[in-house]
Amino acid sequence: MRYAIGIDDFKQLRTSLDSKGNRSFYCDKSLFIRDVIDDGSAVLLLPRPRRFGKSLNLSMLKYFMGSDEPLFEGLAIEQYPEILAGWRGKFPVVMLGFKGLKADTFGDLQASLKGLIASCFRDYEYLTESDQLSDLSKKSILPYFSRDFPTIDLGPSLMHLTKLLEKHHGQKVWVLIDEYDTPLQHAYLNGFFPEAVALFKQVLGAVLKSNTSLYKAVITGITRSFKESLSPDLNNIRVYDITQNAYANYFGFTEEEVGAVCPAEHLQELKSWYNGYHFGKSRLTIYNPWSILNFLSNHFDLRPYWINTSSNDLIQDCLTADKLPDAHKLIQRDSIDIPIEPHTVMSDLRENAYSFWNLLFISGYLTLDAEGKMMIPNREVAYFFEKTVTAWFGGKQKERFLNEFLEDLIWGNALELQSKLQQLILETLSFHDVTERKQESFYHGFLLGMTLGLRGRYTVKSNRESGYGRYDLGLYPLNPLKDPGILIEVKMGLDAAAGLEQVEEKAYYQDLQTAGCSKIQTYSIAFDGKRVSSLYACKGH
């Protein structure tokens, strides 16, 4: 079968043929059109993970509403002749994709948006010769053909276009916005998020709110911050995120759809790598479509395909040390009990751990287990988590730095370990959002995250009872004859000696000895702001 990877234009996908005249594979999602038509809401927001078919579905809507080309033969929508007769090719459609609006400054974003809108206007150049428009209306279009049109005209630009289209066609307009939140994510990372929000409030608010020329709008993205950040007062919008049953089967592949194209002998291994998503309250099982298509087209080669398809800078930027204990649980394939808050906005991501984990949930990096707790869905995403955390801790030297640090930890190279830890703190950490009261848990999570690089060699336990108390971190070697057991005690201030005394007084090493460790390395690591000191002791041989 011919798999077209990365084509998100519906017409191109449906008309592209191989040398034998065969079409590319298309997973029929055409009943999406029926459900959107039947939806009573004027504006639909459909947040879904990237590469789950958002752009292709919007493109399908565009061609169905705005064209009578023969693109739907043999698809499920043909079962509804009344829809074909009453809707197909009957509407003007305005579609914009914001995927390319990745600006580093607000000025660049503004210029890029003007360029995108100018390109959109040029698609309707026929309006300049319309008999239904006045000379003044036709003249008003001309400045928008250049990306240098006045900035003051940016806010009402799309609304103005819909007004002209309605006058020309005698029909209200469909507006389709794809990947609306891509520019907002980049604005957040580059420090001009409030300005970007204000800009898109003007442009999208004007075309979507109280616009009598609008028939219906469908908006896609990863997050649902459109509702909370851009148009909180837009009362005609309906959000259908991955916690809703509606539209759940139209993004990603269902088990039935995967079973129809994948040989039975490969289904189980495919499931462990790319399955695990449960959309809606009915917990419909969904597969990652991008990874499935790549897996099939690469002769059933199991490897990460989806996680490298776009930048993960937003996640890496908002992953702070206080979130690392939960990251550690997830990588260990445990679940974390986080309230589902799909309405959270980007401005909360650094400060609010709940917002951060909900972003990962909505974005497809996490799913829900049977008890409603968050967990990593499959091996592909588990690989991403491990790589992201180890890269974060590697600082400027990435994985090599972390590997060397962990070797120093294992073999008792105390001076080198303290030097590397001090270097990493100076290069990586910022404390503007960590209060003095929370610094101990901050550093505890920091060190816990670093030990993730020892998976497969050590079992890492945190806050476990041993002897007469609870140690901070205990590293249990899988081969105690080869590797030593390791205890780490975290202290605030620079009195590292108190940590070693506490380990001895409360016999924290007892559990490691019971586990068969004849040699135990003990570290007391003390933090004071960005300064670090440590003391080391070794028990056994």
DSSP-assigned letters across all residues of 187-210: HHHHT-HHHHHHHHHHHHHHHHSS
Would you place residue 12 in the very low, low, confident or very high pLDDT band (cuts 50, 70, 90)? Answer: very high
For the segment 517-528, what is each residue's pLDDT rounded down to a tens digit? 999 999 999 988
Mode of pairing for the β-strands spanning 519-528 and 485-492:
parallel
Paired with 217 in beta bridges are 43, 175
Paired with 476 in beta bridges are 459
Smallest CA-to-CA distance from 466 within 502, 492, 440 is with 502
What is the structure's pLDDT at 413? Answer: 92
pTM listed for this prediction:
0.85
Q: Please, are residues 192 and 184 in contact by the beta-carbon 8 Å criterion?
A: no
- pLDDT exceeds 60 at position 434: no
Q: Helix, strand or coil for residue 466?
A: strand
Would you place residue 325 in the very low, low, confident or very high pLDDT band (cuts 50, 70, 90)? Answer: confident
Instruction: From residue 419, give the alpha-carbon distance in Å to each of 73, 402, 414, 415, 423.
Output: 67, 13, 9, 6, 6
Copy the structure tokens of residue 524: 């007391």
**Who contacts 74 (Cβ-Cβ below 8 Å, separation ≥6)?**
none
Q: Tell me the pLDDT of the chain averaged across its residues.
A: 89
Q: Please, are residues 118 and 160 in contact by the beta-carbon 8 Å criterion?
A: no
The residue to which tokens 């400027």 are assigned: 396
Q: Looking at residue 336, what DSSP letter applies?
A: B
What is the structure's pLDDT at 464? Answer: 84
Q: Helix, strand or coil for residue 162?
A: helix
Q: Helix, strand or coil for residue 17?
A: strand
Region 408-422: mean pLDDT is 91
Smallest CA-to-CA distance from 222 within 284, 309, 155 is with 309
**Who contacts 47 (Cβ-Cβ below 8 Å, separation ≥6)?**
220, 221, 222, 223, 224, 239, 241, 242, 342, 362
For the segment 265-292, what is each residue's pLDDT rounded down to a tens digit? 999 999 999 988 899 888 899 999 999 9
CA distance 62 to 482: 63
- pLDDT exceeds 70 at position 396: no
- pLDDT exceeds 60 at position 2: yes
Neighbours of 63 (CB within 10 A): 21
Q: Please, are residues 53 and 250 in contact by the beta-carbon 8 Å criterion?
A: yes
CA distance 6 to 306: 12
Q: At 108, which helix (H) or strand (E)?
A: helix 106-122
Q: Which strands, in side-by-side order, build the sheet including 253-254? A: 253-254, 284-287, 277-279
CA distance 316 to 229: 22
Q: What is the separation of C-alpha 254 from the centre of its chain, rounded to a whole number of angstroms? A: 20
Task: Between 55 and 226, name the one with better pLDDT.
Answer: 55
Q: Please, are residues 421 and 405 in contact by the beta-carbon 8 Å criterion?
A: yes
Q: Helix, strand or coil for residue 74?
A: coil
CA distance 345 to 352: 10
Q: Which strands, in side-by-side order, build the sheet including 473-477? A: 458-462, 473-477, 485-492, 519-528, 531-540
What is the structure's pLDDT at 323? Answer: 80
CA distance 486 to 466: 13
Q: What is the separation of C-alpha 387 from the centre of its chain, rounded to a whole number of angstroms? A: 15
Q: Which strands, in side-by-side order, build the sheet including 237-239? A: 93-97, 173-178, 214-221, 43-47, 237-239
What is the structure's pLDDT at 433? Answer: 43
% the chain with pLDDT above 90: 61
CA distance 147 to 149: 6
